[in-house]
Amino acid sequence: MKPRSISDDDLCSACQHCAYRPGELSTCALDFPALGSQDGYIELCVEFQGQPKYHVVTGRRFKITGCFTDDEAGTAAANAFMDANPGHGVLEVTHDGRVIVASCADKGTPV
Domain boundaries, the chain: 4-44, 54-110
Q: What is the pTM of this model?
A: 0.58
Q: Report CA-CA distances (Å) from 110 to 1, 3, 59, 106.
A: 34, 34, 6, 12
Alpha helices (H) in the chain, listed in sequence order? 72-84
The per-residue pLDDT for range 63-99, each reduced to its tens digit, is 888 888 899 988 988 898 899 889 999 999 999 888 9
Of 69, 15, 23, the closest CA to residue 44 belongs to 15
Tell me which amino acid residue 111 is. Answer: V
Q: What is the pLDDT of residue 79?
A: 92
| Tens of pLDDT, residues 6-43 | 877 777 777 888 887 777 888 888 887 777 777 777 77
